[in-house]
Structure 1
Amino acid sequence: MLTSLKTKLAGPVLAASLALVGACQSNPTKQETATEASTAQADTTAKKPLSEPLISNIYTADPSAHVFEGKIYIYPSHDIEAGIPENDKGDHFAMRDYHILSLDSIGGKVTDHGVALDIKNIPWAGRQLWAPDAAFKNGTYYLYFPVKDKQDVFRIGVATSKSPAGPFKAEPAPIAGSFSIDPAVFTDTDGSSYMYFGGLWGGQLQRWQGGKYNPNAPEKEPNGNVPALNARMAKLTADMKKFDGPVKEVVILDEAGKPLLASDNNRRFFEGGWLHKYNSKYYFSYSTGDTHLLVYATGDSPAGPFTYQGVIMKPVQGWTTHHSIVPIKDKWYIFYHDTQLSGKTWLRNIKVTEMKRRADGGIETIVP
């Protein structure tokens, strides 16, 4: 969910520079001209987006997708132009409500079901309604959301509905023991449900070391040769509204079985965790934040530990990257976002593309 004032050299700038060099060369041969044309065509193909935005009437991000009642439902953030300057705390991500989207099939028409939950209807909320997730159990749909309370501390709340499209009614208080951002709920084949959550920098995870919020903690996570800060997880009670036991750390190990270090920015957890299961293996995927990758690790239990495996998706246009992974009709799809419509990292648009696996269950890297 966060942003940075960093910018990256865009492909079109590089392409323009190469074109200028080519224009300065005199009398190219026919073979050279043909080669240049072929290369230009290849470049154009390579830069074609994997997917077009699923919806353009509003800005959306952080898509959490599920198949409910035979349809695909997406629970995204609803980006707005709040007029707040960019900073590493993400204050300019000042979202105030959720719109739920649905479609009958991949590539089908997307329906915007309108406002499903507004911040003004969450009794304990202060500001910044960030990336949500949803679940279904016991005939009820649950919407999990992070929002800062009136003391400006991120907590996670839950709202319920009898329809996957909402509207949802929020519980009067946040989930006891919850903190930080990016809730993602996974229900295992035995019916047990677990929530994964946490995010660094503006997500405040670094302020919860020791299990208690420290308002004077640094704005960013520790650096250097110390263990990285990891996501958190907790089992949910049968009514899906409380934690059933203590909050635990989601430990991610390297190939030698040692915890990833804080300095390992290309592999360590930053935000946007998601869990799915394939062939009895648990896949914990997440964003590396300031290095803009979506990566994954695998384990034999919903609680981990998980061993790092590789990159799912390389950087998208924009600073943030956030996803969900869903099986739909014998294929796997990854829902994600970029900034194709606006070019502004706080005004994003959601997309979807197929995610493929190798014979060993490993995930093939996607290059946007």
Structure 2
Amino acid sequence: MQVQNKMIWTGLCAFAALSGSAQEKKPISQPLVSHIYTADPSAHVFNGRIYIYPSHDTATGTPENDNGDHFNMMDYRILSMNKVGGKVTDHGVALSVKDIPWAGRQLWAPDVAFANGTYYLYFPLKDKQDVFRIGVATSKKPEGPFKAEAEPIKGSYSIDPSVFKDPKSSDHYMYFGGIWGGQLQRWNNNQYDPNGALRQPNEPAVLPRVVKLSKDMKSFAEPVRELQVLDQNGKPFTEGDNTRRFFEGPWIHYYNGKYYFSYSTGDTHNLVYATSDNPYGPFTYQGVILTPVQGWTTHHSIVEKDGKWWLFYHDVQLSGKTHLRNVKVTELKYNADGSIQTINPYQ
């Protein structure tokens, strides 16, 4: 806990410095909506329209702590638009905690996939024992409403599910995980240890997870695997390398024959990426996609629409508070060699 507190203090100091500088500069994009607080946007193109599946931040009054209890989301609100820059539609509540049979608390960052003529909403939620699991809900419409299954996905745990359809095989894979409040450090070999501790700086970093989904999209087709993220020399990161190691918010997309795995570094506030020739990895670290935003958390998605690639992300421009965020979007550009151009969210 001493290491975690030190890391938190480092992160908070960085955020304090960042907040001052960010407020003096102009954001490169504006919030998509301002009537509600939204975060952690998972964007997809369905039927030619962009649908955004965000977390729904609310001011619940829950005290802040290291585990993120103040991010006490109660439901999901789905947004959509025909094109980036177009009118944004709020489709209302798509799923609420009260409608999930196994619910405890905290609906965190979701994702959606389409298969079998059905839309599947994947969501992390603490069960009645306060352990994060991943649930699934279904709808015939991309905007919902969604109906949750009676139980979480068997063998699921932690947070931030992201589901990817491999264009080569049409198989669907789920990438997930988050340390600290996301509880990933409590899981080893898919076994839960309630006393599982964060790694020491010189120890191997906790790895994100990947698993192939069954054809029914409601279960895992295999045991969950660790996803290797390596440096340019083929070596895994240590926990002390917190400018590059995985923290939370995994996302994967496919571009020019390569799989791009992107994620948040958490306490150092970067969005970074790694590439591979295989959806199972190993992935080799390549660089930074987005430098720190105003606010503690950073979480994103990447999608192609109208011949361009777009980065959806969030900051706290509207509220200035870490738990009341707003979703944004900006263009993402590649260099000729396939590397991603680093984006500064403020001018």
TM class by shorter chain equals over 0.9
C-alpha displacement at 1:336, in angstroms? 0.2
Give yes or no for the alignment of 1:210 onto 2:189. Answer: yes
Whether 2:262 is the aligned partner of 1:281: answer: no
1:192 is the counterpart of 2:171:
yes
Judge conservation of contact 1:4–1:319 (CA < 8 Å) in 2.
no
Q: Distance in 1 between matches of 2:19 and 2:256?
A: 41
Find out whether 1:118 has 2:82 as its counterpart.
no
8 Å CA contact retained: 2:19, 2:295: no
Q: 1:12 to 1:83 in 2, by over 3 A?
A: closer
1:96-127 Cα distance to aligned partner (Å, 9 max, x none): 10000000110001000000000000000100
- SS, match of residue 290 in structure 1: helix
Equivalent position of 2:301 in the other structure: 324
Choose the corresponding residue for 1:132, options 101, 104, 110: 110
Distance in 2 separating the partners of 1:251 and 1:10: 32
Deviations 1:110-147 (A, max 9, x none): 00000000000000010000000000011100000000
2:316 paired residue number: 339
Residue 227 of structure 1: how far off its partner (Å): 1.4
Q: Distance in 2 between matches of 1:217 and 1:68?
A: 40
The structural deviation recorded for 1:210 is 3.3
Deviations along 1:290-323, one digit per CA (max 9) or x if unpaired, are 0000000000100000000000000000000000
The alignment partner of 2:104 has SS state of strand
Deviation, structure 1 residue 223? 2.0
Q: Structure 2 vs 1, CA of residues 314 and 12 (structure 1 numbering), >3 Å: closer, same or farther?
A: closer
* Separation in 2, partners of 1:341, 1:185: 29
1:248-292, CA deviations, whole angstroms, 9 ceiling, x for partnerless residues?
A: 011001111111111100000000000000111000000000000
Q: Which residue of 1 aligns with 2:3?
A: none
Q: Which amino acid in the other structure matches residue 147 of structure 2?
A: K
Please list, as runs of the form range in 1=range in 2, the aligned pairs for 1:95-244 lying within 5 A after superposition: 95-189=73-167, 190-218=169-197, 221-244=198-221
Shift of 1:364: 0.4
Deviation at 1:14, TM superposition (A): 6.3
Runs of 4 or more, structure 1, over 6 Å off, are none
Does the 8 Å CA contact 2:210/2:280 hold for their aligned counterparts?
yes
In structure 1, give the amino acid aligned to 2:150. P
Distance 1:211 1:135, change over 3 A: same
Q: Gaps (5+ residues) in structure 1?
A: 16-42
* Alpha-carbon distance, 1:4 to partner: 5.3
Secondary structure of 2:114's counterpart equals strand
Structure 2: which 5+ runs fail to align? 1-6
Question: Between Structure 1 and Structure 2, whose CA radius of gyration is higher?
Answer: 1
Give the Cα–Cα distance (whole angstroms) in 1 for the partners of residues 223 and 278 of structure 2. Answer: 16
Partner Cα separation in structure 2 for residue 122 and residue 89 of structure 1: 23
TM-score in terms of structure 1 length: 0.89
What code does the residue aligned with 1:312 have?
I
TM-score (norm 2): 0.94
Residue 53 of structure 1: aligned partner: 31
- Cα 1:14–1:260, aligned 2, differ >3 Å: closer, same or farther? closer
Identical-pair percentage: 67
Superposed, which structure 2 residues align to 1:27-38 within 5 Å?
A: none
Q: 1:123 to 1:14 in 2, by over 3 A?
A: closer
What amino acid maps onto 1:298 in structure 2?
T
Residue 12 of structure 1, CA deviation: 7.9
Matched, 1:351 2:346: no
